[in-house]
Amino acid sequence: MAVSGISDVHVTPGKTLSYVGRPDKSEDGTLVFSSLCSNDPKLAHIQMKAHRKRFGKDKGVLLHHGYVSFKKDEISKEKAYEFAQEFMKRHYSDYQYFGSVHVDTDKIHFNFTINSVGLDGKKYSRNMKRIRELRAEVDRCCEEYNLSVVIPKGMGMSYKEWMEQKKNNSWKSIIKSDIDEAILKADSFEHFLALMRDEGYYVKHGSNVKHILFKKKGMQRGSRGKTLGDEYTEQAIKDRIKFKEFNFTPGSSLRKPRRRMKLVERELMSLYYRRPTLATNVAIGIYLLNAYVTGERYRIMRYSPPKKNKISSIYNVEVKKLAAQLRFCHEHGIRTREDLESQIADLEKQIQPNNSAKQKELLAEYYALKESLEEIRDRNIIEKIQREVEKEKHTPEKER
Q: Tell me what percent of the residues of the chain surpass a pLDDT of 70.
A: 68
Alpha carbon distance 384, 291 (integer Å): 12
Give the pLDDT score at 170.
Answer: 65
Q: Which residue has the higher pLDDT, 229 or 20?
A: 20
Alpha carbon distance 337, 339 (integer Å): 5
Average of per-residue pLDDT across 43-49: 94
Give the pLDDT score at 279.
Answer: 45
Average of per-residue pLDDT across 20-39: 93
> Quick one: how far is CA 383 from the chain centroid?
22
pLDDT band at 380 (very low <50, low <70, confident <90, very high): low
**110 beta partners:** 68, 101
Check: CB of residue 292 under 8 Å from CB of residue 241: no
Average of per-residue pLDDT across 220-239: 83
Alpha carbon distance 400, 323 (integer Å): 28
With vertex at residue 169, the alpha carbon angle to CA 168 and CA 172, rounded to the nearest 5 degrees, is: 85
Give the pLDDT score at 311.
Answer: 59
- What is the maximum alpha-carbon separation in the chain? 95
pLDDT at 17 over 90: yes
Alpha carbon distance 41, 245 (integer Å): 59
Q: Which of 27-31, 232-236, 336-340 has the highest mean pLDDT?
A: 27-31
DSSP string, 169-229: -SHHHHHHHHHHHHHHH-SSHHHHHHHHHHTTEEEE-STT-SS-EEEETT-SS-EEHHHH-
Check: CB of residue 112 under 8 Å from CB of residue 84: yes
Q: Which of 27-36, 163-172, 237-246 has the highest mean pLDDT?
A: 27-36
What are the chain's domains? 2-144 (3.30.930.30), 173-242 (no CATH), 263-399 (no CATH)
pLDDT at 6 over 80: yes
Model-level pTM?
0.42
pLDDT at 227 over 70: yes
> Quick one: how far is CA 44 from the chain centroid?
35
Q: Which residue has the higher pLDDT, 106 or 244?
A: 106
**Which three-class secondary structure state does DSSP give residue 135?**
helix
pLDDT band at 173 (very low <50, low <70, confident <90, very high): confident
pLDDT at 255 over 80: no
Alpha carbon distance 56, 151 (integer Å): 42
CA distances 107 to 63, 77, 94, 138, 356, Å, are 25, 10, 29, 16, 84
pLDDT band at 18 (very low <50, low <70, confident <90, very high): very high
Give the pLDDT score at 331.
Answer: 78
Q: Which residue has the higher pLDDT, 303 or 141?
A: 141
Q: Which residue has the higher pLDDT, 323 or 27?
A: 27
pLDDT at 38 over 90: yes
Alpha carbon distance 43, 46 (integer Å): 5
pLDDT band at 148 (very low <50, low <70, confident <90, very high): confident
Q: What are phi and psi of 347, to 5 degrees?
A: -70, -35
**63 beta partners:** 9, 115
Indicate if the alpha-carbon torsion angle 335, 341, 345, 347 is positive or negative: positive
State the amino acid at position 350 in one-letter form. Answer: Q
Indicate if the alpha-carbon torsion angle 256, 257, 258, 262 is positive or negative: positive
Other CB atoms closer than 10 Å to residue 74's CB: what's the count? 17
pLDDT digits (tens, 9 = 90+) for 257-315: 344 444 444 544 454 444 434 444 445 554 554 454 444 333 333 334 444 455 566 66
**Which three-class secondary structure state does DSSP give residue 14?**
helix
Other CB atoms closer than 10 Å to residue 77's CB: what's the count? 16
Average of per-residue pLDDT across 128-156: 76
Alpha carbon distance 238, 241 (integer Å): 5
229-249: buried (b, 16+ CB within 10 Å) or exposed (e) per residue?
A: eebbbbebbebbbbbeebebb
State the amino acid at position 29 in one-letter form. Answer: G
Alpha carbon distance 274, 95 (integer Å): 39
